[in-house]
Amino acid sequence: MKLTHNSLRLMVLLSSFVIAGNANALSLGSSDTCKVDYLSFQSGMIIDRYNSLGVRIFFEYQRDIKKKWQWGISYENSRHLGFAATDQPYELETNLNLFSLNGYYKLNVVKNRLFWTAGLGLGMVHAYWEKPLSYTFSEMEHHNIFGPVANVSLTLNVRITKRVYIEASPLVVVMPTNRVYFSTMDEEHFNNFFAFTFFPFGVKFRL
C-alpha cells in the first residue's frame, strides 16, 4: 500500500472538516440540544474500483448532537455478485469491509419528516478475494488489502411513523447512489480505490 503526499493531504483535509463540523456543533449553546439515538439498516448494491458488483449490508449507529448535526459509526459489508461492466481488461471478485466514523448535517425539506443528511466520514477499508494459483489452478490463493478510507454521502430520509424512517438515494432514480468511498490503497493492477452504492434502500429507527 502506497500513500502519496497528495493523498495524505486529502485525508488530513477531510478529517479536518469532520472534526471541525462536530466541534462547531458541540460548541454551540445547549438550549436546542436534542440528543436522540438512531439505528440505520441499509441494503442494495455497491460497485468498486475493481469492477466488482456486490450486495451490500450497512449498519450505523447515529446520535443527534444538535438539531441539525449528527455523528455516526458505520460498518458496511459487501459480497461479490458479478461484474459491473463487460469491457474491463482486469477485474477482481472482491468482497469489502468498511468501518467509518461519520459526521452529518441535516437539510430539511419538511422539518423532521422529509430531509437529506449530508455527511463526511473517515475509517478503514478491507478488500479481499480469492483467485486460482497460477501454477496449479486447482487451489485458491486468498488476498487481503487494507487502507484508510474517506466517504461522502447524501441520503434522503422520509419519516413514515413517529420512530421509523425510510432511507434512499437523494434523488432516487435520477441519482441512484448515496455514498462514495475513496482510499489511497493500491493493488498490483490498480492505483487507489473507490466504491459507490447503487440503488440503496434502508430503514432507520429512532430509539
Is 18's pLDDT higher than 80?
no
For 94, the domain range is 5-25+34-206
The torsion angle over the Cα atoms of residues 96, 97, 101 and 105, rounded to 10 degrees, is 40
- Is the Cα torsion angle 82, 191, 44, 205 positive or negative in sign? positive
**CA dist list (Å): 166 to 25, 63, 74, 171, 201:** 25, 17, 17, 14, 8
Is 57's pLDDT higher than 70?
yes
pLDDT band at 31 (very low <50, low <70, confident <90, very high): very low
Contact 71, 37 (CB under 8 A): no
pLDDT band at 206 (very low <50, low <70, confident <90, very high): very high
CATH of the domain at 83: 2.40.160.20
The domain total for the chain is: 1
Is 171's pLDDT higher than 90?
no
**pTM of the predicted protein model:** 0.81
Residue 111, pLDDT score: 85
Is 13's pLDDT higher than 60?
no
